[in-house]
Amino acid sequence: MAEIKIKEGKAPFKIASIDESCFTYYKIIGDLSSGLPPVVVAHGGPGAGHEYLLTFADLWRNYGLPVVFYDQIGCASSTHLQHKAGDRSFWQEQLFQDELDNLIDHLELRRDPGFHFLGQSWGGMLGAAFAARQPQGLRRLVLASALANKELATRGTKLLREQMPPDMRQALEEAEKKAEYEGPAYKEALDFYFRKHVCRAESYPPVDLLPALKNLSEDTTVYRTMNGPSPLTADGTLDKWTVISRLPKINVPTLVYNGEFDTSHDIAQVPFFELIPRVRWITFPNGGHMCHLEEGLRERILKVVGEFLTQKEVVDV
């Protein structure tokens, strides 16, 4: 069993449009000098922070792969930029691409043995766009409950909403019409949606998810600007986002997975499977958006991801 080593740090991050000094918080589980590629893990939200993904710290314990978690700019333990709330020109994909490049360079991960990347939800959207640039050092890619296109994601959400009880659908529609998202009927409907499609853990919310919920509620800057006022009402800067045209440029082995009941619906996964040259897609039965936190799936997902990241690549002769 690999010894558990933990290192925390802050990578200075210079943003051209901001005078103040900014930084990206990171946490390393394991030893970067182990000789195996570390796994850089990107969280969702945007704005959820890394803690709910600590399940993947066991990639070090079980497979000897160091794991690099980080909090994206604007949330959790990284620099907060609340004065940028609502600034649609600022909160764009490119900001997070720049931050990711900066972190990788700060940790000197581009040299041998390189690094793997695992992105969950929005982190997977970022990861697909990042991988399409064919960055130096990237070895393998995992897209966990990600989305290839926001328009497809919206269609998927509509399909899930149509399965909800009529009174709950009505509550959602009335809240959106009035732009009022604090009413008890709306919150009841949202809770139903979360328990069925976001995290299907028997005890909801699981302890592992609480930090993400706290991060998202305490500072809404990033989530509100990029996603919208509610998980079911998307009108932020990601509303027209797509990576579909860039997918054929991904040149590393890629694992795509989602859950059977995932908010990241199958229709938003199909472009990954059809357009990424070397790809495998798994849908986990009975899983939700946070299936890595759900009973009966956590260990299975760790095994699938760990074996994918450590398998020897077959080279054509």
Judge whether 157 and 194 are in contact, CB under 8 Å.
Answer: no
Window from 35-39, 125-129, 144-148, 229-233 with minimum mean pLDDT: 229-233
- Give the pLDDT confidence score for residue 314 in this predicted structure: 52
Judge whether 48 and 221 are in contact, CB under 8 Å.
Answer: no
How many CA atoms does the CB half-sphere of 104 hold within 13 Å?
25
Cis geometry, peptide bond prior to residue 12 (ω within 30 degrees of 0)? no
**Which CATH number characterizes residue 57's domain?**
3.40.50.1820
Judge whether 265 and 156 are in contact, CB under 8 Å.
Answer: yes
Q: In the chain, which ranges are continuous DSSP H helix?
A: 58-63, 93-106, 122-132, 150-161, 166-178, 184-193, 210-218, 221-226, 270-275, 298-310
Nearest to 117 by CA among 53, 43, 42: 42
Neighbours of 202 (CB within 10 A): 8
Give Dmax over CA atoms of the chain in angstroms.
63
Percent with pLDDT over 70 in the chain: 98
Nearest to 228 by CA among 311, 307, 157: 157
The answer to whether residue 97 sits within a structural domain is yes
Q: For 95-140, write each residue's pLDDT tens digit.
A: 999 999 999 999 999 999 999 999 999 999 999 999 999 999 999 9
The answer to whether residue 12 sits within a structural domain is yes
In the numeric block, the tokens 């499977």 are attached to 273
Judge whether 90 and 97 are in contact, CB under 8 Å.
Answer: no
How would you class 139 by CB atoms within 10 Å of its CB: exposed for 0-12, middle for 13-18, buried for 19 or more? middle
In the predicted model, what is the mean pLDDT of residues 190-212? 96
Q: Cα(177)–Cα(125) distance, rounded to whole angstroms? A: 29
Residues 6+ apart with CB under 8 A from 201: 209, 290, 293, 294, 295
- Give the pLDDT confidence score for residue 234 in this predicted structure: 85
Q: Cα(71)–Cα(40) distance, rounded to whole angstroms? A: 11
Residue 1 has pLDDT above 70, yes or no: no
CA distances from 47 to 201, 206, 301 (A): 22, 19, 23
The answer to whether residue 287 sits within a structural domain is yes
Nearest to 128 by CA among 275, 243, 282: 243
- Give the pLDDT confidence score for residue 317 in this predicted structure: 33
- Give the pLDDT confidence score for residue 4 in this predicted structure: 82
Q: Cα(131)–Cα(149) distance, rounded to whole angstroms? A: 16
In the predicted model, what is the mean pLDDT of residues 259-270? 98
Q: Is position 230 annotated as part of the catalytic site? A: no
The whole-chain average pLDDT of the chain stands at: 96
How many CA atoms does the CB half-sphere of 201 hold within 13 Å?
16
The answer to whether residue 252 sits within a structural domain is yes
The answer to whether residue 195 sits within a structural domain is no
Which listed residue (43, 265, 289, 292) is catalytic? 289
Q: Is position 87 annotated as part of the catalytic site? A: no
Where in the sequence is the domain holding 225, given as residue range(s)? 6-157+208-310
Total domains present in the chain? 1
The answer to whether residue 183 sits within a structural domain is no
DSSP at 42: E
- Give the pLDDT confidence score for residue 3 in this predicted structure: 60
Which listed residue (58, 71, 219, 262) is catalytic? 262
The answer to whether residue 163 sits within a structural domain is no
In the predicted model, what is the mean pLDDT of residues 289-312? 97
The answer to whether residue 315 sits within a structural domain is no
Judge whether 150 and 226 are in contact, CB under 8 Å.
Answer: no
Judge whether 13 and 24 are in contact, CB under 8 Å.
Answer: yes
The radius of gyration of the chain's CA atoms, rounded to the nearest angstrom, is 19
* 3-class SS letters over 197-215: HHCCCCCCCCHHHHHHHHH
Considering only residues 313 and 291, tell me which one the structure prediction assigns the higher pLDDT. 291
Which listed residue (121, 219, 265, 292) is catalytic? 121
Residue 2 has pLDDT above 70, yes or no: no
Q: For 129-175, write each residue's pLDDT tens digit.
A: 999 999 999 999 999 999 999 999 999 999 999 999 999 999 999 99
Q: For 206-221, write each residue's pLDDT tens digit.
A: 999 999 999 999 999 9
Q: Is position 262 annotated as part of the catalytic site? A: yes
Q: Cα(204)–Cα(185) distance, rounded to whole angstroms? A: 19
Q: Quick check: helix, strand or coil at residue 9?
A: strand
- Give the pLDDT confidence score for residue 153 in this predicted structure: 96
